[in-house]
C-alpha cells in the first residue's frame, strides 16, 4: 500500500481514538485532570488503570468522536498544559513504580498564540528530559497520527510500538510538500519521501513492534503489554534508563 493511503487511514473518520484503546485494552480507568498550574487540557487524557492485575498509568492524545467533541478536544492537538499534565502523571507513576503506557494520536502539538505564550517548546522539552530519565518503564504506542514534536513528547520510551496503518513523522506531509516541494499538491511524494509508515519505521529501527489491524487489536495490545511490562518492571532503574538511552543514542550515530 502507498504511504499516502496509510496516512489517509491513520486520519480516517471513525478510526478508534485513544479513549477507545484506554477502555478496550485496560480495566477500571480512572481519569486524572489538570496540570496543577494552568488548567486541564481535554486533548490529553491520563489516569490510572489496570492491566492483568498490574496498575498502569495511561496517557493518551484524544481527538474526540463527534464534531462537538473534536472541537472541545482541539482535534487532539495538545497545549502546553496538556504536556505538563502528562509529565505530572509520569512523575506520579515513577513515585509508585507503575509502568506508563502512552497512546499517541495527534497531527501535532497545537500551534496557537496561547500555546506559544505558555511555552509549548519548553513543555515538550521538559517531557523529553524527564522521560529519558524516568525510573519506571514507558511504552508508547502510535495508534493513528504521530505528528512530530507533539508525538515524541510522549514517545521517549523504552519501546515504541505502532499500528499497521498509523504513521510517525518529523513534519506533516502537507508541511513537507509546501516547504520542500513548494507545492501543496505534492503530498503523496512527501508521504513516500518521509518514510513514515509502520513498515518504514520498523526497517529504520524506530519502532520495536508493528501490530496488524485485523481481528481484536485491543486484545493483541493487552497481551503484548501484559508480556512486556513485567519484564521492564523487574529491571533496576539504571538498567531501565540505560536501555532507553541506548535506544535513542544509536539513531543516527556516526561511526567513530
User: Cell for 96?
Assistant: 509508585
For residues 23 and 186, which CB has a smaller minimum distance to another protein in the complex? Answer: 186
Nearest approach, Cβ of residue 99 and another protein (Å)? 18
- Within 10 Å of residue 171's Cβ, how many Cβ atoms? 18
Nearest approach, Cβ of residue 216 and another protein (Å)? 29
Site residues, another protein (CB under 8 A): 109-113, 115-122, 124-126, 128-129, 131-133, 148-149, 152-153, 155-156, 168-171, 175-176, 179-180, 189, 193-196, 200-201, 204, 206, 244-245, 248-249, 251-254
Nearest approach, Cβ of residue 164 and another protein (Å)? 17
For residues 155 and 225, which CB has a smaller minimum distance to another protein in the complex? Answer: 155
For residues 19 and 107, which CB has a smaller minimum distance to another protein in the complex? Answer: 107
For residues 40 and 174, which CB has a smaller minimum distance to another protein in the complex? Answer: 174
Nearest approach, Cβ of residue 117 and another protein (Å)? 5
User: Cell for 97?
Assistant: 513504580
* Residue 58 · residue 101 · CB < 8 Å: yes
Nearest approach, Cβ of residue 147 and another protein (Å)? 10
Residue 36 CB contacts under 8 Å (≥ 6 apart), including other chains: 88
User: In the beta sheet, which residues pair with residue 210?
Assistant: 162
* Residue 56 · residue 48 · CB < 8 Å: yes
Q: What is the dihedral of CA 197, 200, 206, 207, to 10 degrees?
A: 60
For residues 9 and 170, which CB has a smaller minimum distance to another protein in the complex? Answer: 170
Q: What is the DSSP letter of 1?
A: -
* Residue 179 · residue 218 · CB < 8 Å: no
Amino acid at each position: 500500500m502507498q504511504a499516502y493511503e496509510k496516512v489517509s487511514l491513520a486520519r480516517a473518520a471513525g478510526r478508534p481514538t485513544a479513549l477507545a484503546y484506554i477502555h478496550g485494552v485496560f480495566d477500571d480507568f480512572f481519569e486524572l485532570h489538570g496540570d496543577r498550574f494552568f488548567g486541564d487540557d481535554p486533548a490529553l487524557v491520563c489516569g490510572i488503570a489496570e492491566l492483568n492485575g498490574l496498575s498502569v498509568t495511561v496517557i493518551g492524545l484524544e481527538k474526540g468522536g463527534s464534531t462537538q467533541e473534536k472541537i472541545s478536544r482541539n482535534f487532539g492537538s495538545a497545549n502546553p498544559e496538556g504536556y505538563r499534565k502528562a509529565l505530572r502523571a509520569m512523575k506520579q507513576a515513577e513515585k509508585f513504580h507503575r509502568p506508563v503506557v502512552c497512546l499517541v494520536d495527534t497531527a501535532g502539538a497545537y500551534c496557537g498564540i496561547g500555546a506559544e505564550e505558555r511555552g509549548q517548546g519548553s513543555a515538550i522539552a521538559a517531557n523529553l528530559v524527564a522521560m529519558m530519565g524516568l525510573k519506571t518503564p514507558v511504552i508508547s504506542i502510535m495508534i493513528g497520527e504521530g505528528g512530530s514534536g507533539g508525538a515524541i513528547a510522549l514517545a521517549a520510551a523504552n519501546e515504541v510500538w505502532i499500528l499497521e496503518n498509523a504513521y510517525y513523522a518529523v513534519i506533516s506531509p502537507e508541511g513537507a510538500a509546501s516547504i520542500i516541494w513548494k507545492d501543496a499538491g505534492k503530498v503523496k511524494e512527501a508521504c513516500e519521501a518521509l518514510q513514515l509508515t509502520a513498515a518504514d519505521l520498523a526497517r529504520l529501527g524506530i519502532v520495536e513492534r508493528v501490530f496488524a489491524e485485523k481481528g481484536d487489536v485491543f486484545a493483541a495490545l493487552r497481551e503484548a503489554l501484559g508480556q512486556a511490562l513485567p519484564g521492564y518492571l523487574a529491571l533496576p532503574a539504571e538498567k531501565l534508563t540505560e536501555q532507553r538511552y541506548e535506544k535513542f543514542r544509536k539513531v543516527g550515530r556516526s561511526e567513530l
